[in-house]
Amino acid sequence: MLAISLGDLSLHVVINLMRCFPCLEKLYIESQTAKDRNFWRRKHRNLIRCLDIRLKTVVLKHYRGTKSQISFASFFVLNAKMLESMIFEGEVYNDDKISVSEQHMLLQLEKRASLRARFTFTGRICRHNNLTHIDHVRDLSLTNPFECTCSERA
């Protein structure tokens, strides 16, 4: 399992980390922004052939459905052959209504590499930002290290 918190969501950074952990099965990513376009089709075409993506679970926290986030997520949708679950945890904003059916189309879920993969979109409201509620490593959830343990849920 690998849990990372990035200021700017970057597929290049995540792929480089995945090279260090070739048997990685669970990936939890928290990011505040996605300025990098995360276009991977040209840049990572040769890498896809040699990188064995063994991920079974991917969790994207702060998902808003931007083009950059869609490109980032679609890399795993289209290339992770052992993927079982991909969870898109979106913060709830008044101006941000993610259409799940539109996301299914944009993420190309019908072309997914793993036929058994399940995709879940959740909206959460949490008073804690940037893991400020965690005082010690034992406070991290074993199933989702970024899980907010506060009682406020959407």
Tens-digit pLDDT profile for residues 50-101: 567 889 999 999 888 888 899 899 999 998 999 999 999 986 554 455 688 8
Q: Distance (Å, rounded) from C-alpha 12 to C-alpha 132?
A: 27
Residue 153 within any structural domain of the chain:
no
| Single-letter residue type at 45 | R
61-65, 108-112, 126-130: range with lowest mean pLDDT: 126-130
Query: Is 90 a member of any domain?
Result: yes
- The verdict on residue 89 lying in a domain is yes
pTM: 0.76
Q: How many domains does the chain have?
A: 1
Do 101 and 67 meet the contact criterion of CB atoms below 8 Å apart?
no
- Domain interval for residue 101: 2-139
**Within a domain: residue 128?**
yes
Q: Is residue 147 part of a domain?
A: no
Give the torsion through C-alpha atoms of 29, 141, 21, 87, to 10 deg. Answer: -40
Q: Which residues pair with 118 in a beta bridge?
A: 85
**54 in any annotated domain:** yes
Domain assignment present for 150: no
Question: Does 57 map to a domain?
Answer: yes
pLDDT at 148 over 70: no
Q: Which helix (H) or strand (E) holds 106?
A: helix 100-106
CA dist 97 and 43 (Å) reads: 31
